[in-house]
Chains A and B, each alone.
Chain A
Amino acid sequence: MVAVDGLMYGFGIVFLPQNLLFCFIGVFVGTLIGVLPGLGPSGALALLLPVTFGLAPATAIIMLSGIYYGAMYGGSTTSILINIPGEAASVITCLDGYQMARKGRAGPALGMAAIASFIAGTISLFGLLFLAPTFANLALEFSSPEYVSLILCGLILVSFLGSGSRLKAFMMACVGLLLGTVGTDPIEGMERFSFGIPYLMDGVGLIPVIMGLFGISEIFSNLEEQHFHGILKEKITNLLPTLQDWKDSTWPIIRGTVLGFFVGVIPGTNTVIASTMSYALEKKVSKHPEKFGTGIIEGVAGPEAANNSGPSGAFIPLLSLGIPTNATMALLLASLMIHGITPGPFLITQSPDIFWSVIASMYIGNVMLLALNLPLVGLWVQVIKIPYAYFFPIILVFCLLGSYCIGSTIFDIGVMLVFGIVGFLMKKFAYESTPLILAFILGPMFEENFRRALVLSFGSFRIFFERPISAAFLVAAMVLLAFTLLPTFRKIRMGA
Chain B
Amino acid sequence: MRKGTKVQLAARRIRFFMFGVLAIGLLPVIGTPAAVAAYPEKEITLIVPWAAGGGTDLVARFIGNLVEKDLGKPVVVVNKAGGGGLVGFNQIAAAKPDGYTIGINSTSQLLQKYSASSYADWRNLSPIALVNLDPAAFTVKADSPWKTIEEAMAYAKANPMKVRISNSGPGAIWHVSAALLGSKTGIQFTHVPYGGGNPAAVAAAGGHVEATTVSPAEVGTLVKGGKLRILAIASTHRDALFPDVPTFKEKGIDFTMGVWRCLVAPKDTPKEIIARLEKSVNKAVHDPSFKEFMDKNGLGQAYMGSAETAAFWAEDEKGMEKVIPGLGLKKN
Contacts and interface: CB of A to CB of B under 8 A. Distances in A.
Judge: A and B partners, yes or no: yes
A184 B164 CA distance: 23
A140 B205 contact: yes
A406 interface: yes
Interface of B: 51-55, 58, 78-84, 86-87, 90, 115-118, 161, 164, 169-171, 190-196, 198-199, 202-203, 205-206, 208-209, 221-222, 225, 328-330, 332
Interface centre among A143, A144, A190, A339 (most CB of B within 10 A): A190
Contacts of B79: 407-408
Contact of B196 (A190, A339, A342, A408): A342
A187 B171 CA distance: 9
Interface in A112-154: 140-144
A189 B82 contact: no
Contacts of B169: 186, 189
A143 B208 CA distance: 7
The secondary structure that dominates the B interface is loop
Contacts of B87: 198-199, 407, 409
B79 to A, nearest CB: 5
Contacts of A187: 170, 193
Interface string A324-363: 0000000000000011101011100110000000000000
B83 A345 contact: no
Interface residues of A, number: 40
Interface string A441-459: 0000000100010011010
B192 to A, nearest CB: 5
A251 interface: no
B201 to A, nearest CB: 9
A191 B116 contact: yes
A182 to B, nearest CB: 13
Interface in A175-215: 184-191, 194, 196, 198-202
Interface in A391-411: 406-409, 411
Contacts of A411: 82
A198 B170 contact: no
Given A53-B53, A339-B53, A452-B194, A191 B117 contact: yes
A43 B164 CA distance: 42
Contacts of B190: 455, 458
Interface centre among B79, B115, B193 (most CB of A within 10 A): B193
A189 B169 CA distance: 8
A194 to B, nearest CB: 7
Given A344-B202, A349-B225, A452 B53 contact: no
A21 B53 CA distance: 22
A46 to B, nearest CB: 14
Nearest to A197: B83
Contacts of A142: 206
Interface string A406-449: 11110100000000000000000000000000000000000010
Contacts of B81: 202, 406-409
B208 A456 contact: yes
Contacts of A339: 53
A244 to B, nearest CB: 52
B145 to A, nearest CB: 19
Contacts of B86: 198, 201
A438 to B, nearest CB: 18
A353 B86 CA distance: 34
A408 B198 CA distance: 27
Given A190-B330, A408-B78, A340 B58 contact: yes
A144 B195 CA distance: 12
Contacts of A140: 202, 205-206
Contacts of A201: 82-84, 86, 116-117
Contacts of A344: 198-199, 202
